[in-house]
Amino acid sequence: MSNDDAVVAFIRHETHLLNSERYDEWLGLLTDDFEYRMPMPVLRDDPTQPRYSDVSLLAWESVRSLTLRFERILTDFAWADRPPAFHRRHLTAVRVAPTEDPQRVAVSSDEIVFRSRVPEGSTMTSALREDVVDLSGSAPRLARRTVLLDQDRPDLAQIALLY
């Protein structure tokens, strides 16, 4: 298996863990300095201008905050997750590219996330995932994930989810 194939297999695996709510195992695939970011979509008039804010992050999570987030789900008082929502990430066009750091590669994927729950209804959200995968250890680890939503003024049901 080439290096790139191993990275693609890794991304498929971690996505599968998220889809299966195997959060402990998923946390185990992160580097200690992992960051998860979702910039606020902000539309300017000029189509050549960036479509996301460079300061406003809708989500900015670390390993510790994600751990708390998953721990919360397992308490009896996670009202927003009881009963749970259906959710599934559909990935396509996973691309691997080198970075300046020989130990790390950039992975980008196109993603559709489906979520359904009463009473919020169903949402289907398209996004670009931009990841950095660390290859310095014996197995690949996820070092950074940036989620770029293809949507201006999203609904809460779309953003309160891990992409």
Partner 1 sequence: MSPRELTVSVDDDRFDVPRAYFADADVWRRELEAVFRHAWLLIGHESEVPAPGDYVTRRMGLDEVVLVRSEAGELHVLLNSCTHRGTLLCKADVGNTSHFRCGYHGWTFGNDGTLRGVPRGRELYGKDFDKSQLGLRAARVDSFHGLVFATFDQELCSLPDYLGPMAFYLECILGVSPAGTDAPYGSFRFTHLGNWKLEADNLAGDGYHLRHAHRAGFEMGLMGAQAGSVEGVCVQFEHGHALRAQRTATDAEEQAFPGYPEDRWPEIATQLSPEQARMFAHSTVMHGLVFPNMAFVHTPRAGGFDDGEVDAAMMQVRLFNPLGPDETEELNWLVTPRDYPEDWKLSAFKTMQRQHGATAFFESDDLENFRRMLQVNGGRETNRLVPANFDLARDVAPFTPWFDGPGNVVGADVSEVNQRWFYRHYLEMMGADA
Q: Which residues here bind partner 1, judged by CB under 8 A? A: 38, 40, 42-45, 53, 55-62, 64-65, 68-69, 71-72, 75, 77-81, 118-120, 152-157, 159-160
Q: How far is the CB of 30 from partner 1 (least distance, A)?
A: 14
Of 105 and 159, nearer to partner 1 (C-beta) is 159
Q: What is the DSSP letter of 84?
A: P
Least CB distance to partner 1 at residue 113 (A):
13
Least distance from partner 1 to the Cβ atom of residue 115, Å: 13
Task: Provide the 3-class DSSP secondary structure of residue 145.
Answer: strand
Q: What whole-number distance in Å separates Cα of residue 163 and Cα of residue 158?
A: 10
Instruction: State which residue, 62 or 108, has the beta carbon closest to partner 1.
Output: 62
Whether 96 and 4 have beta carbons less than 8 Å apart is answered as yes
In the bound state with partner 1, the residue whose beta carbon lies nearer, of 6 and 42, is: 42
Taking the complex as a whole, how short is the minimal distance between the CB of residue 72 and partner 1, in angstroms?
5
Q: Residue 158 Cβ, how far from partner 1 at the closest point, in Å?
A: 8
**Nearest CB to partner 1, comparing residues 83 and 102:** 83
Residue at 14: amino acid letter: E
From 112, 119, 109, 124, select the one nearest 154 (Cα to Cα). Answer: 124
* Biggest distance spanned by C-alpha atoms of the chain: 48
DSSP 118: T
**Whole-angstrom distance, CA of residue 87 vs CA of residue 120:** 13
CA atoms within 13 A on the CB side of 135: 21
Nearest to partner 1 of 102, 153 (CB atom): 153
